[in-house]
């Protein structure tokens, strides 16, 4: 019975991860500068727990043009940052 429960738990976790049930962690920040040509944004951000990074001001790449349109200097945003090909990249904005 214990091995069946372990199997069911493992299967449920696998399905949850595959379906995206574990949502990305959004972090609050303020847009300091947008460089559309370079596809980069400078953010003053809170701690990025998923990247083990303290609060600071830094430059991020932006995943795509649609996200760049959501970024306006001075705006308060919530965003997700990930390492994409070794570069810190904003992948979601709300």
For 51-79, the pLDDT digits (tens) are 999 999 999 999 999 999 999 999 999 99
Average pLDDT over residues 8-23: 49
pLDDT of residue 17: 46
Give yes or no for a contact between 75 and 34, defined as CB atoms under 8 angstroms apart.
no
Lowest mean pLDDT: which of 18-22, 29-33, 77-81, 86-90? 18-22
CA torsion sign for 94, 77, 89, 49 is negative
DSSP state of 52: T
**pLDDT one-digit tens code per residue, 22-56:** 568 999 999 999 999 999 999 999 999 999 999 99
pTM of the model: 0.75
Fold of 25-93: OB fold (Dihydrolipoamide Acetyltransferase, E2P) (2.40.50)
How is residue 44 written in tokens? Answer: 């003053």
Give yes or no for a contact between 44 and 30, defined as CB atoms under 8 angstroms apart.
yes
């Amino acid at each position: 019975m214990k091995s069946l429960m372990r199997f069911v738990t493992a299967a449920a976790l696998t399905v949850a991860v595959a379906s995206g049930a574990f949502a990305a962690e959004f972090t609050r920040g303020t847009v300091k500068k947008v460089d559309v040509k370079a596809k980069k944004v400078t953010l003053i951000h809170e701690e990025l727990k998923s990247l083990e990074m303290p609060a600071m001001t830094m430059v991020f790449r932006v995943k795509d043009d649609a996200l760049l349109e959501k970024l306006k200097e001075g705006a308060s945003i919530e965003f997700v940052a990930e390492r994409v090909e070794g570069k810190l990249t904003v992948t979601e904005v709300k």
